[in-house]
Amino acid sequence: MKKHFFTLIFLLIIFSVIAQENEANEKKLSFEFSGFINLNTIFDFNGLDDYQDFTTSEIPINPTSYENTVRLHMTARQSRLNAGINYVTPLGDLKGFVSGDFYSGNTGLTSYFNLREAYLELGQLLLGQTNTTFGNPDIVPATIDFEGPNSCPALRNPMVKYSNKAGKNWSYILALEMRGSDISAFHTTGKPFLTTQTLVGTINKQGDWGVVSLSGMVDITRYFNGDSVEQHDFAYGGALSAIINIWEQNHLNIYLVSGKGVSNFINDLSGNGYNGVPDFSTNKLVLLNSIGGFISYTQNWTDKFSSNFIFSYIELEKSPLLAQNDFRYSKYALTNLFYAPFKRLNFGVEYVWGELFVQNDNNATANRLQFLAQFNF
């Protein structure tokens, strides 16, 4: 009996020590949840078949009767959930962040959870998926249109990123990103394209007047045509971002991007295979040049009313390797008005216009009016 009694006492002591350690660890671990509930109401005058985004590269050149008909649509798929985690370690605070919405590929009434960001951060080092380092993500003004300006930075990439200060008001970022190739394949072989990780560097200068960022990227694209690697080619580009404070929290945003094989960094070109195309006469891959940018102005009328005015442009080089209805250039213009009756609740109305020109110089326009109701938590 005594043996069992002492065994029980010993186990209680062990459990007590473990409980104290768990309690201490719990104090080191903290969570924070945030996000927003979003209802977007879309009133199409003409043009786009896609209700979810105003994507200029998808404006139909010869619209059907359906696409030319006034249509009304509502969606809550852009609602978002964020989770922040902080854990105290001997090396400092280990931070984690996961963000997602219901903006998946399914466009019906059933929406699936879509991962936006997931990363760990310890000191100056970040590991995981987040907004690309090629261009300042803060440059994009508030819009109801979930796509945003046609030329703004587009990607959220898996990456390894290091950031640090470089003197007073200066900072820099170095990153290896996996951005994907986004290239039109040699359809006669069906072999996949592969891209090495993209090396991206950004330097920032910040002051009371605002912030300027200069970014550069380079990577090597290789492709398969048949069973062997036929060619290696370099993709490269640069981006300039500037947020200039005017007065009373109003600011002017300027963004420029250009390069060879960088189209998937540009919002309305991303995902369309315009980084490069095959030349069947030489069996070589040709990386395409693209350029774009936008200018926007944010006006805070009062503490409850604010507006954004945007004009954006992108251009892809004219090439005989592209089809006649492939993208050539597009324009995008937007104006909106937001009303926040109190903190966390926001309403908005927005007008968006776009025009698309294709390789044979045919063009078409689209117009949309959007309404927003959003609760932030």
Is the pTM of the predicted complex or chain greater than 0.85? yes
How many Cα neighbours within 13 Å face the side chain of 256?
5
Predicted confidence band at 180 (pLDDT cuts at 50, 70, 90)?
Answer: confident
| Mean pLDDT of all residues in 192-216 | 90
Average pLDDT over residues 5-23: 50
Q: Which residues on neighbouring strands pair with residue 298, listed in sequence order? A: 251, 308
Confidence of residue 284 (pLDDT cuts 50, 70, 90): confident
Domains in the chain: ranges and CATH: 29-376 (2.40.160.10)
How confident is the model over 179-198, as a mean pLDDT? Answer: 75
Residue 80 has pLDDT above 50, yes or no: yes
Q: Given its phi and psi angles, is residue 135 left (phi above 0), alpha (psi -120 to 50 degrees) or beta?
A: left
| Helix or strand holding residue 4 (H, E) | helix 2-28
Do the strands 125-131 and 114-122 form a parallel or antiparallel pair, or are they unpaired? antiparallel
Give the best-scoring range by mean pLDDT among 80-94, 227-241, 279-293, 348-362. Answer: 348-362
d(CA 271, CA 29): 39
Work out whether strand 80-89 and strand 92-101 pair parallel, antiparallel, or are unpaired: antiparallel
3-state secondary structure of 11: helix
Q: What percent of the chain has pLDDT over 70?
A: 87
Rounded distance between C-alpha atoms, residue 90 and residue 151, angstroms: 43
Residue 178 has pLDDT above 50, yes or no: yes
Q: What is the mean pLDDT of residues 339-358?
A: 96
Q: What are phi and psi of 53, to 5 degrees?
A: -130, 150
Q: pLDDT averaged over the chain?
A: 88
pLDDT at 11: 45
The predicted pLDDT at position 145 comes to 94
